[in-house]
Amino acid sequence: MSMSQAFLQEFDNEAKTTRRVLERVPTDKFSWRPHPKSMSLGELALHTAMTPGMICDWACVDEFKFDGSKGPVATTTAEVVAAHDKSVARYKEVLGQLGDGGLTKSWKASAGGNTIFEMPKAALIRNIGLNHWYHHRGQLSVYLRLLDVPVPSIYGPSADENPFAAHA
């Protein structure tokens, strides 16, 4: 199996799980945050939804320059889920275009003329595109728990869902 095919196989499973988490985000709690330094629920949900496609877009160039601009703002759960679906499609499209050859090319991020980090595009996809995405999905599941919203099963049973339990 090629490197890009392995990423896509993992991604397909994770995207389904992430969508289930995002579907539970209550629109009426978008402004809630667990701590003043934390992102709001709406900000975190949209960031989680957009991460895969956004990171793959970065991989389309050899250098991404951060300019400090703010991203879009969602006002409903439906908008967050739609952003996720668009992001999933973009990830698959770009990874298909890059292929294994494109994933071995170098990539860097800079801000204000300074290099922040440099890595192969495969590392960008793995470390920021996937691991970073999982990290934020985990944060989002904690936000849901703190708001007493049922948390879906992610890698195994949650306190609210057990896909392994016997059903009568």
Based on the structure, what is the number of domains in the chain?
1
- The answer to whether residue 87 is domain-embedded is yes
- The answer to whether residue 154 is domain-embedded is no
- Is the pLDDT confidence value at 167 over 80? no
Q: 97: how many CB neighbours lie within 10 A of its CB?
A: 12
pLDDT in tens, 54-109: 999 999 999 999 988 888 889 999 999 999 999 999 999 999 999 999 999 999 99
- The answer to whether residue 158 is domain-embedded is no
Domain that holds residue 110: 3-146
pLDDT in tens, 14-33: 999 999 999 999 999 999 99
- Is the pLDDT confidence value at 143 over 70? yes
Query: What sign for the dihedral angle of Cα 145, 150, 154, 158?
Result: positive
Determine the residue type at 99. Answer: G
Distance separating alpha carbons of residues 52 and 48, to the nearest angstrom? 8
Q: How confident is the model at residue 160 (pLDDT cuts 50, 70, 90)?
A: very high
Q: Which helix (H) or strand (E) holds 4?
A: helix 3-23
- The answer to whether residue 161 is domain-embedded is no
- The answer to whether residue 168 is domain-embedded is no
Q: What is the pTM of this model?
A: 0.93
Q: How confident is the model at residue 118 (pLDDT cuts 50, 70, 90)?
A: very high
Contact 66, 111 (CB under 8 A): yes
